[in-house]
């Protein structure tokens, strides 16, 4: 019986060693797969970051132009381009125009802000992409 136990003990030791070796191999494979995944994730994150940086450059022209035509009196197109002070000015003048609409002055204020929005919307949409970018985004020209 001790011979049998000895053989079983040897077989158990061999099985343990094989399992240990298989576990080491699996751990190395998992480390390599995790490293590959991390590299791919970093690459994808960098591509996403670059895409966000480039997004909206050309689209601001169309967006600002259409918003200038539709909501120009509220100054929304100014806020899109980053001209917050000018946007607030148009918004305040429009609010004052609505508040004083029972007087004749209010209608003139509303017509003025409406005209500014329409004119700027048309100007934005008729400029080339490069000219629009150089004038309104890089050059920061706030009015017309």
Percent of the chain with pLDDT over 70: 84
pLDDT digits (tens, 9 = 90+) for 46-101: 776 665 455 445 568 899 999 999 999 999 999 999 999 999 999 999 999 999 99
Contact of 77 with 65, CB cutoff 8 Å: yes
Measure Cα distances from 5 to 13, 14, 17, 34, 83 in Å: 12, 14, 18, 42, 87
More confident residue, 65 or 11: 65
Over range 91-114, report the average pLDDT: 93
């Amino acid at each position: 019986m001790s011979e049998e136990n000895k053989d079983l003990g040897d077989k158990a030791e061999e099985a343990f060693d094989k399992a240990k070796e298989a576990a080491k191999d699996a751990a190395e494979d998992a480390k390599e797969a995790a490293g590959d995944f991390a590299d791919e994730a970093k690459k994808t994150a960098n591509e996403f970051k670059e895409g966000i940086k480039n997004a909206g450059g050309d689209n601001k022209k169309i967006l600002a132009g259409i918003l200038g035509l539709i909501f120009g009196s509220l100054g929304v197109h100014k806020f899109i381009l980053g001209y917050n002070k000018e946007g607030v000015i148009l918004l305040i003048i429009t609010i004052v125009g609505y508040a004083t609409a029972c007087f004749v002055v209010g209608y003139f204020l509303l017509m003025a802000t409406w005209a500014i929005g329409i004119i700027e919307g048309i100007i934005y949409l008729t400029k080339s992409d490069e000219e629009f970018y150089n004038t309104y985004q890089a050059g920061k020209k706030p009015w017309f």
